[in-house]
Amino acid sequence: MRPSAVVPLSYFLVLSAVLFGLGVAGFLFKRNVITVFMSVELMLNAVNLTFVALSYAFRQLDAQVFVFFVMVVAAAEAVVGLAIIIAVFRNRASLNVDDLDQLKL
């Protein structure tokens, strides 16, 4: 049997949906604020996979340029988010999201 050299495109889209779902699950279920943030990055990665798969499907490079922008925005967001986490940790000394539920110190 000749091994197959093709993969249906829908497999890539299903994989992306599964990764997105796992990212949402991490965002809701985990209690450490850094892990919650990493689940957001996982969701962004799943979206990137969708973009690249559709760029292949429609033979256009615009989607890959958009992936580039998504990565840059994710970098900026990670930088600011982690700075906020450090500042909050200095004031509350806790990284558990359940402890970070009040506006006053």
Partner 1 sequence: MYAVLFFVFAGAAVGFAVNLLVQRHPIYSALSLIGVMASLASLYLMLGAEFVAAVQVIVYAGAIMVLFVFVIMLLNAGEEVRTRRSLVVRQIGAPLIVLLLGLITTTLYRQVPADAVVRFGDFPGQTAGIGRRLFLYYLLPFEVVSILILVAIIGAVTLARNET
Binding residues among 25-84 for partner 1 as defined by CB under 8 A: 25-26, 28-32, 34-35, 37-39, 41-42, 45, 48-50, 52-57, 59, 61-62, 64-65, 67-69, 71-80, 82-84
Of 5 and 103, the one with the shorter C-beta distance to partner 1 is 5
Amino acid symbol at 58: F
Total residues at interface with partner 1 (CB under 8 A): 74
Measured distance CA(60)–CA(38) in Å, rounded: 30
Query: By CB under 8 A, is residue 8 in contact with partner 1?
Result: yes
Whether the CA torsion 68, 71, 75, 76 is positive or negative: it is positive
Residue 104 has phi, psi (to 5 degrees) of -95, 155
